[in-house]
Amino acid sequence: MELYWLLQTLEILSRTLGSTSDTSTIYISLPVPVPVLDGQGKQSWPLNDCHKNTNCPKLAMNRWDNITQQQNGTLNFFSVHHFNITGVTVTAPGDSPNTDGIKFGFCSNIRISNTNIGTGDDCIAILSGTSNMDISNVKCGPGHGISVGSLGKNKGEKDVNGITVRDTVFNGTSDGIRIKTWESSAAKIVASNFVFENIQMINVGKPINIDQKYCPYPPCEKTGASHVQIKDIKYKNIYGTSKNKVAVNLQCSKSFRCKNVELIDINLKHNGVEGGPSTAVCEMLMVLLVVRWFLSIVWLDCMVRAVMIHIFI
């Protein structure tokens, strides 16, 4: 049908040009189709019982070079270096299981920009061995936010460092920025040098979340605290609304306390049904809290979970 109308248009133009002495050139711009990759995951989502079946089989997948399209994850990158992603849209229903938008493992020098992701799991998952990643101008929602991890579950995992997330919007996600490590971890690694800056939260469940007791399908075996060391983390100019009263949850390992965590200009308002102002919970970390309304810098050595910090709004 489109070809028919194109031919009709060309015929009218040729007649018009033929009836005049004007020999000007006419340029015709045709729309460039946007490629769409349909993973057809809807048929397989009801078959996903991994939350209760420890021997669940992996679902079918198709592989092209370093890009994997599979039913339980949209785009997977492993051992990819010096790679740019821009202008990409990834969509899956908010209730679709294990549909990570983009997942990275053992990658370096990755740039993601001007990308829209809506899924039933992490919008972007950053796994073991990933370094030097810059994420900017991303819109995430629905989904579980942007996650570093989960880390520490398996032996042979490597450090994660040099991650920047900036100028990004989370809308209606369960989490915003999340670092998650298994409580009973097999690997002793370091997650360090992260910057999260200029980020808007719109009705997000847990806008800032460090979870070193990660257990997605309880009960989980507990053989000790996480061996993943989290350090040198900066949260700056993070603002918006939180569905939960605890807008900042910093739950670190008892064996490897978080080090050098900075909170600068955090402005998160609680808009949930509980009422009252936003709060923060910290456990086992040394946190540097810098609030724009005060000239002083406050060091908080959070030894117990009962310590609460108000998020100033």
Q: Write the pLDDT tens digit of every residue in 119-178.
A: 999 999 999 999 999 999 999 999 999 999 999 999 999 999 999 999 999 999 999 999
DSSP track, 248-296: EEEE--SSS-EEEEEEEEEEEEE-STT-S--EEEEESEEEEEE-TT-SS
* Count helices and strands in the chain by DSSP H and E runs: 1, 21
Q: pTM higher than 0.85 for the full model?
A: no
Q: Write the pLDDT tens digit of every residue in 41-84.
A: 666 666 666 656 767 665 544 333 333 333 445 788 999 999 99
Phi-psi domain of 247 (left: phi exceeds 0; alpha: psi -120 through 50; beta: other): alpha
- Structural contact between residues 290 and 263, judged by C-beta atoms closer than 8 angstroms: yes
Residue scoring higher pLDDT (7 or 253):
253
Residue type, 214: Y
Pairing of strands 61-64, 67-70: antiparallel
Q: Write the pLDDT tens digit of every residue in 286-306.
A: 655 554 433 333 334 443 232
Residues that are catalytic: 144
| 46 burial level (CB within 10 Å; 0-12, 13-18, 19+) | exposed
Domains of the chain, start order:
73-310 (2.160.20.10)
Task: Please give the Cα distance from 140 to 170 (Å, whole number).
Answer: 5
